Amino acid sequence: MTTTSPDPDPRAAAVAAWRSWCARLADIGETVLTDPLVTGERDLADGLRHLARQLVFATQWHLEFDDPERPALYRSNDDVTPWGGPNADNTYLRARIDPTGTYRLRADVTGCRDLIIAVSEGDMSLGRPAVHHEIGARDLHPAGGHLDLVVAPRPPATDTGEPFTPGARVGGSPVDWLPTHPDSTLLTIRVYVTDWDRDRVPDFTLERLDIDPGPAPPLTLEAVTGHLDDAAEWMAVGIPFWLRFLELAAGAAEPNVLSPPRRPEGGALTIAYGAGFWDLDDEQAWLITVDPPRAEQWSIQTHTWPWFESGDLAARQTSLNSHQVHLDPDGRARIVVSSRDPGVPNWLDTEGRATGMVVYRWIATRDDPTPASLVVPLADLADHLPDEHPAVTPDERRRRLARRRLAVQRRFRR
């Protein structure tokens, strides 16, 4: 689709722009749904939903939040707009920035367990994976629980006139600084919710300080069609990117085996990731055993094939983290991936999918253990677990899932 130019009949131009955009979306959908990785009715149903979800994200992001002069934070990659393998324990926020601009990010971070704030080149799926700088909760100096962070190419001037140091006073209050790079166009925030019942997601505000842009100018057809074109491009490039990403990863992997942890380009600098793909029937279980890393927190979860969405966060146990997981008396975590409930605490529910992906994250870790893998008949699972390994009854499972549903509702304000 091309942008429109001034037209003596703006109504006709608007209708033509809409038809052109819808036609491009139809082409994107056909390309995605006829991809060789998409097989069977469930893949197709998931794919239709994935297209609709990404349309919601891409359109809102580009149409409503793509203004670095009047920045606003947009929640993305949540329970209803997942893409690219998001962490079930994260709330993700993003804002468009001008790398030459000066921004101020504020929040009351009382009750927030951890967060990572980063500036980057853009989205990995669009070929802009570079993370330029990031800062975590341990590096910040909130006064009385109040975060005050300047995001800019140069540090702010201190009250004393001395060179800036982290936590220096600016305007009478301690301030931190996150430097931008000349190619930084995206500010992202990862908030970690490890205790789903208690950890708090702060309410952030973001403002630009170096200019006063005033209200946005009136919309034009050219501006709107440009934003819609960007949204369609995000889908046209991004969705196939992740299909190929999973295809490549699965092609290099042995089924039912987790890879050693690594730090891929485009991910957070402080997180080590490992992954594997299950290939199981309803009578099999994938038993994953690991000595927990010496990390501030860690997690393991499922992702759908081939859409790289999170598993159902609320209605099913598709993720576990270091706060939720059961450790046996020998200190090890034993996680069971299966279609049917095996009656153990660390069950990862495949949602009846014969194939899917498991990803683990070691966050701010001092070592990099690789989990061990074993596929066993589900009927023989108890023979591979310690005698002290607890059982989870159907009633207890229902109670646990009810708590997950309420926790997801609270976090995402459903």
What are residue 140's phi and psi, to 5 degrees? -100, 160
Neighbouring residues of 364: CB distance < 8 A, sequence distance ≥ 6: 136, 138, 270, 271, 295, 296, 297
List the single range of 145-149, 257-261, 270-274 with lowest mean pLDDT.
270-274
Written out in words, the top-level CATH class of the domain with range 70-214 is mainly beta
pTM of the full structure? 0.94
Residue 414: band (very low, low, confident or very high) from pLDDT cuts 50, 70, 90 = confident
Say if residues 389 and 334 touch (Cβ distance below 8 Å). Answer: yes
Alpha-carbon gap, residue 300 to 268, rounded angstroms: 16
- What's the token pair of residue 361? 């994250």
Q: In which region does residue 158 sit, left (phi positive, over 0), alpha (psi from -120 to 50) or beta (all else)? A: beta
Question: Is 3 a residue whose pLDDT tops 70?
Answer: no
Number of helices (H) and strands (E) in the chain: give both, helices first. 4, 19
Domains 70-214 and 255-412 share a fold: yes
Domain boundaries, the chain: 1-64+217-252, 70-214, 255-412
Alpha-carbon gap, residue 33 to 22, rounded angstroms: 16
User: pLDDT for 191-235, tens place per residue?
Assistant: 999 999 999 999 999 999 999 999 999 999 999 999 999 999 999
User: pLDDT for 379-395, tens place per residue?
Assistant: 999 999 999 999 999 99
Residue type, 212: D
- CATH ID of 255-412, from 3.40.50.2300, 2.40.40.20, 2.60.120.1600, 1.10.3720.10: 2.60.120.1600
